Amino acid sequence: MKRLAWALLAAAALAQAADAPYGAAVAARFPAPPVHYETPGLRDGRDTFTSNAELAALLAELAKKPGVRLVEAGRSQEGSALEALHFSRGAGRPAVLLLGQQHGDEPAGAEALLALAQQLAQPADKGPALLDRIDVVILPRVNPDGAASGSRVSRDGHDINRDHLLLRTPEARAVAALVRRFEPIAVADAHEHTVVGRYLQKFGALQRYDLLLQQATTANLESELTGAGETMFLAPLRARLDRERITHEWYYTNPTTPGDLQLSMGGVQPDTARNVQGLRHSVSVLLESRGVGIGRLHLQRRVHSHVLALTSLLESAAAHAGELQALRATLGARLSAAACRGPMTVLAAQTRQQRELTMIDPETGADKAVAVSWNSSLKLRPVIERPRPCGYWLAADAGEAAERLRELGIVVRRLAEPAELDAEGWRETARAEGARSDVRGRIADAERSVQVMVETERKKLEAPAGSFYVGLDQPLANLAVAALEPDTQNSFFANRLLPALASAARVMAPPAPSAPPPAASEQRSEHPADDLAPDRGADAAHR
């Protein structure tokens, strides 16, 4: 009954303002910024965002400037080039990677990255000094097909920002190729969040915050990385936004299920760009401007919010470049040394709190305090823990899984000779099939996943020549854990990249020195094994 009342109120508000999503009192809360941005989609009189053709033309034009290079990272499903700009004033500097518009219906991220690229492309004496300390790599539009159709997902219906572990889409593989090539010390991912829709229906209120922020939050992240992100990046970013009167909060979202009044911070699954880049020891920040569902309303302000935030993040990276490189090396080395030792978390969950948020009254435009049930990602609750193995064995028929791991940058070795391994297999104790889900609800995914519960059991494993070994004595060990422990919704087994539970095993003792970790041929994606099909799109960035 209450929901019907709010629906009627929403209808009345809409009728008042013709096609505007809300009335003048609310709109007055979001004045235009002091800067006017001039991307193709932001020019006066435009009623469409920058098209894919305009974006390609602008990138080509900027790439003619000194210190700017075009990098083709891959192609979208409809054949649009996934092109990044690489800004570099000298070799050997650490890079920061900026991603935009993974979701096609969130345009401000791409427009902001184009505006920022225009600023960075200025001559060295006029452009920002931060380029004397760091390289910047900008992939402004990860999902050109979705941008063209106004759709959140890729052409084949995948949510690209839930595909950074499974790498089913060429768009996510293009991001992985850029990450392998540039090994960024920091990554920012620009999105937009829903303003009216589910908030009006559930809370009788509209979203107020200009920008929502969140670092990587997933199992097995190092606290030093999150700490560095907070002190070096988020604290100065918040201060900057406060000075510029851009309001901000932790990132949160509203489940798509009607009547579910919980709000959740961004998820803790290792599937988003934010969480996957965190597991690679990059400071990883999600930025979400207030934009989904309001068309072009306040577009200059939405873009301004992103440009301010991205500039602050780049300045932080430049100021702390050396420390961040050192931290990355330390964390990678420590994790490599932790193979075979101690516990690890296979699955973690959010923790529940009550808190108050400020939203906006849809009629008066005044602030409205709303008490909410809040799922926090800042403190995680371990759900499944298991001893950390020395590595994983993969059967010879797991070539597709081995190739995906290599595309993630993980070292996978192929056994040249048979080896006897002290291993643990997984025995299935329960099974359910269904869709993957996240804090919003069901994830857009063409495939059904297999959710199993397992028990581990020790065994001697006769590993034949031609099978694979993934040692955890490497910096990306925790990405391998996320992919290969089978009993999570994002695992390679759950998503049929591994044909059976017996296609992989936990290796519990370092392979004997006489049979060294079956070190036949160490290969990464840069040099795919002859017997594994290289992915042209993903490897384009290496040329």
| Residues at the site binding Zn ion, with contacts judged by CB under 5 A | 103, 106, 191
Helix (H), strand (E) at residue 72? strand 68-75
Q: Could you give the 3-state DSSP secondary structure of residue 75?
A: strand
Residue 103 or 280 with smaller CB distance to Zn ion: 103
CB of 50 to Zn ion, least distance (A): 17
In this structure, are residues 345 and 385 in contact, taking their beta carbons and an 8 Å threshold? Answer: yes
Length in residues, the chain? 543
Residue 131 or 172 with smaller CB distance to Zn ion: 172
Residue 65 or 296 with smaller CB distance to Zn ion: 296
Give me 536's structure tokens: 């042209």
Where residue 244 falls (left for φ over 0; alpha for ψ -120 to 50; beta otherwise) is: alpha
Nearest residue to Zn ion by CB is 191
| Widest pairwise Cα distance in the chain | 80
Give me 272's structure tokens: 């988003």
CB of 459 to Zn ion, least distance (A): 43
CB of 292 to Zn ion, least distance (A): 8
> Comparing C-alpha atoms, which of 235, 226, 219, 406 is closest to residue 331?
226
Write a three-state SS string for 447-467: CCEEEEEEEEEEEEEEECCCC
CB of 33 to Zn ion, least distance (A): 22
Residue 103 or 181 with smaller CB distance to Zn ion: 103
DSSP H helix total and E strand total for the chain: 15, 21
Residue 193 or 328 with smaller CB distance to Zn ion: 193
CB of 271 to Zn ion, least distance (A): 13
Residue 93 or 191 with smaller CB distance to Zn ion: 191
Tokens 């495939």 belong to residue: 447
Looking at residue 224, its amino acid is E
Q: Could you give the 3-state DSSP secondary structure of residue 391?
A: strand
Residue 214 or 503 with smaller CB distance to Zn ion: 214
Write a three-state SS string for 405-436: HHHCCCCEEECCCCEEEEEEEEEEEEEEEECC
CB of 218 to Zn ion, least distance (A): 17
In this structure, are residues 310 and 116 in contact, taking their beta carbons and an 8 Å threshold? Answer: yes
Residue 191 or 290 with smaller CB distance to Zn ion: 191
Expressed in percent and rounded to 5, the helix, strand and coil fractions of the chain are 30, 30, 40
Contacts of 456 (CB under 8 A, 6+ apart): 386, 424, 425, 426, 427, 506
CB of 191 to Zn ion, least distance (A): 3
Residue 142 or 401 with smaller CB distance to Zn ion: 142
CB of 187 to Zn ion, least distance (A): 15
Distance CA 11, CA 18 (A): 10
CB of 255 to Zn ion, least distance (A): 15
CB of 103 to Zn ion, least distance (A): 4
Residue 21 or 266 with smaller CB distance to Zn ion: 266
